Structure 1
Amino acid sequence: MVFWEGYVSDESMGTFAPLVVYWLYAGFYQLLPPLDKYRLHTKTEENDRNLVPLRSVVKGVLLQQFVQAVVAELLFLVTSNGSSSELTVQPSLPIQALQFITAMLVMDTWQYFVHRYMHQNKFLYRHIHSQHHRLVVPYAIGALYNHPLEGLLLDTFGGAISFLVSGMTARTAVFFFCFAVIKTVDDHCGLWLPGNIFQMFFQNNTAYHDIHHQLQGTKFNYSQPFFSIWDKLLGTYVPYTLVKRAEGGFEARLKKD
C-alpha cells in the first residue's frame, strides 16, 4: 500500500515523481544560505569559473526531463502489456532489495562506460559531453545539465536498462528512480555537509565527483552515481583528500604519491 494508490498509477508515478523530486531536492539546495564553511568552492569561483548561466542550465534540464518522461511513458506502456498496475503483485521485500541493488549496479556499469567513452572520444567530448563540463564548479540544479543526446544515452537509457534487467515492477521503480535522482543531485551539490548520509555511506559522493569536474581530474573518477567499482577495477580511480581552506570551506585535492 502506497499513498498514491487509487489516485495515480504506478506507471505515472514512475514517470513524473523523479522529475518533481529533482526540483524539490535541487531547489532545497538552491535556497540554502551560502554556507561558506561547507562549500567545496567559493561562491566567487562558482560565478567566475562556470561557463553557462543558471537560466540556460534550467532550460537544459527541462529539455532532458521532457525526453526522459516520453521514454518512461513508452517503457511502462510496453512492459505493462496493458494490465493495470493495481493488479501487479509486488514481490517480497528481500526480492525488491535485490532488484534495487541489481539496478544500481547495472546503472553504474552503463554510465561508467558511456561516460568514459564520451571523454576518450574527442568528437563526442567536444560536441556533446563538454556541455556538462561547462559547470566547472557543480551545483545541485545542474546535475542533469547535459547535451540532449547525452541525456538520452547516459541517463534515460541507463535508467530504462536498469529497470528492464532488474525485473522490478513499476512501483519499485518509483522508489529506485527517485533515489537515483536524489543521489545524482547530491553528488553535484558542491557542499560537504555534516551528517549527509550519501557522503557518509558512499565513496562516490560530492567530493569524488567534484574531482572529476576539475581540470586535473577529468580523466579519472568516471563512475556515477552510486559506486566506484569500475574506476577501481579499470585504473581510473584517483584518491583525494579534503583540505580545509583558510577562508572557510573545503577543497578536494588529488592525493600525491
Structure 2
Amino acid sequence: MECATMREESCCAGPSRLPADDKPQEVKVGITQNRAELMSQWADTVKKVVFIVGGAIIVFAAACNSLTWHLESFWGASGDFWNRQWMKIYNLFGGNLFMLGVVGTELITFTFYWLFNAFFLFVDVTGRPAFILKYKIQEDQNTPVPWPKLKKALQTVLFNQVFVNIPFALVLYFLMQWRGCNISADLPTFKWVLVEMGVFLIFEEIGFYYFHRLLHHPRMYRHFHKKHHEWTAPIGVTAIYAHPLEHILANMLPPIIGPILMGSHVSVLWVWFMMVEGSAIVAHCGYHLPLLPSPEAHDFHHLKFTNCFGTLGFLDRLHGTDNLFRESKNYSRHILLLGIVPLSQTIPDDLKGKRKALESKKTD
C-alpha cells in the first residue's frame, strides 16, 4: 500500500516538482533545437538587414563616386561638381529658404514619383514589353490592370500629393527651421551624408513598422488602412494609394524622423525622399526584376495581410510577424536577383498548393 501511494504521489507531482536536471532527454533536445533554430533565424535576419542597409549605402556611394568620376573625366567637370549643381538649384530659387524647403521638396518628390512609376504603369497597362511579365510575382493578377480600378488609384494618389503633401511640406519646413536644419548654399561632406543615410534607414524602419502595425488594429484598419489593401496584388503607383491619415502616419512621418533628429541639409532630405519613394514603388510594383530590391515581402503582406509589416525585416523577426512568410516559397525568393531567369522558375511554387488554390477559386 505504501508503495502504491508513493507511486501515485510521484505520478501526480507533475514536471514542476522535478528538479531541472531531471527533465526527460527529449525535452532537453527539443529546447536545444528550438534555441538553435531561433539563433539561426536571427542570424539570417541580421545578415539580410546588414546586406540591405550596407548594400544601399555602398550602392549610393559607388553611384555618386562613379558619376562624379565620369563627369570630371569626359565632360571636364571640376572637382566641386556637386556643389556647383546645388548652387544652380539654390540660385534658381533665388536663395529663398522657404521656396527651397517647400516648393523644392514638393517638386522633387512629385516629379520623381511619376517618372519612376512611368515604366511600371506602361507595362501594367499595355503588357509590353512581354518579357517583363515573366517576372510578375502574382502571375494571374492585373494582366492588364482594370481601368476603373487604376483610375481610382491615380485620383487618390494625385489627391494625396496635392492636398496632403503640400501642407505637410509646410509643416516640415517649420520643423526644419526649429531644428536648425541646413538650407544654405554649403553642402555637407559626402562621408557625413553616408552616416546620415544609415541613421535614416533605422528610424524609418522603426517608424514605419509600428505605425503600420497600428493601422492594422481592427478599429484603425476598418476606417483607414482597408483602402490601401483593396489591392491584394499591388502595382507601383499604389505606393501612396491610401487614406490621407494613413498617408501621413505611414508614408510621411517615418522618413522625416531621421533627418529632423540629425538636422540634415535640405539637399540630403531630397535625396533621401527619392530613395524612400523608389523603395516604396519597387515594393508595390508586383515584379521581381533583376538588380532591384526584392518586393516579395511587401507583396506577401498585401496577399496575406498578417505578415511583413516592416521594410528591412528585423522588427518582423523580433515580433514574430514574419512566421507565415518564412514558411512560404516567397521567402526563399526574397533575394536580390542577379541573373535574368525569374526566381519563380528557379524556385517554383509547390504544384500541389497551386492545384488546391485553383480548385478553391473554381468552387468560389
TM-score, normalisation: structure 1 = 0.81
Q: Is the 8 A contact 2:176 2:263 kept in 1?
A: no
Task: State the alpha-carbon separation in 2 of the partners of residues 91 and 55 from structure 1.
Answer: 42
CA separation of 1:75/1:86 partners in 2, compared to 1, >3 Å: closer, same or farther?
Answer: closer
8 Å CA contact 2:183, 2:266 repeated in 1:
no
Q: CA deviation at 1:245?
A: 6.2
Q: Please list, as runs of the form range in 1=range in 2, the aligned pairs for 1:108-257 lying within 5 A after superposition.
A: 108-119=205-216, 121-196=217-292, 198=293, 205-215=294-304, 218-224=305-311, 227-237=312-322, 238-239=325-326, 240-242=331-333, 244=344
Hey, what does 2:116 align to over in structure 1?
A: 25
In structure 2, the gaps of 5 or more residues are: 1-82, 94-98, 334-342, 351-364
Give the drift of 1:153: 1.4
Q: Judge which range, 104-113 or 52-61, deviates more.
A: 52-61
Question: Could you tell me whether the CA contact under 8 Å between 1:10 and 1:85 is conserved in 2?
Answer: no
Which whole-Å CA distance do the structure 2 matches of 1:53 and 1:251 have between them?
A: 28
8 A contact 2:228–2:241 mirrored in 1: yes
User: Which protein is richer in helix relative to its size?
Assistant: 2
Pick from 52, 76, 98 the counterpart of residue 195 of structure 2: 98
2:267 is paired with a residue whose SS is helix
Q: Conserved in 2, the CA contact under 8 Å of 1:223 and 1:230?
A: yes
Larger radius of gyration: 2
In the alignment, is residue 64 of structure 1 matched against residue 160 of structure 2? yes
**Correspondence 1:2-41 to 2 at 5 A:** 2=86, 4-8=89-93, 10-11=100-101, 12-32=103-123, 33=128, 34=130, 35-41=132-138
Distance 1:48 1:37 in 2: 14
User: Which ranges of structure 1 fall in alignment gaps of 5 or more residues?
Assistant: 199-204, 253-257
Report the AA paired with residue 37 of structure 1.
Answer: K
Contact 1:72 1:160 in 2 (8 A): no
User: For residues 167 and 237 of structure 2, what CA distance do their matches in structure 1 show?
Assistant: 21
How far did residue 251 of structure 1 move? 6.3
State the superposition RMSD in angstroms. Answer: 3.0
Letter in 1 for 2:108: A
Looking at structure 2, the residues matched to 235 and 46 of structure 1 have their Cα atoms a distance apart, in angstroms, of 31
Q: Tell me the amino acid that sits aligned with residue 244 of structure 1.
A: S
CA distance in 2, matches of 1:123, 1:169: 38
Q: Do the aligned residues in 1 keep the contact of 2:175 with 2:260 (CA within 8 Å)?
A: no
Deviation at 1:250, TM superposition (A): 7.0
Task: Give the match for residue 255 of structure 1.
Answer: none
Contact map agreement 1:39 1:191 (CA 8 A) in 2: yes
Aligned to 2:35: none
**Misfit runs of 4+, over 3 Å:** 47-50, 83-89, 249-252
Deviation (angstroms), 1:157: 1.9
TM-superposed deviation, 1:244: 2.8
Distance 1:179 1:103 in 2: 11
Deviations along 1:38-85, whole A, 9 cap, x unmatched?
11123x5226998x711110111112212122211332244236x997
Change (3 A) 1:84 1:46: closer
Does structure 2 retain, via aligned residues, the 8 Å contact 1:10–1:174?
Answer: no
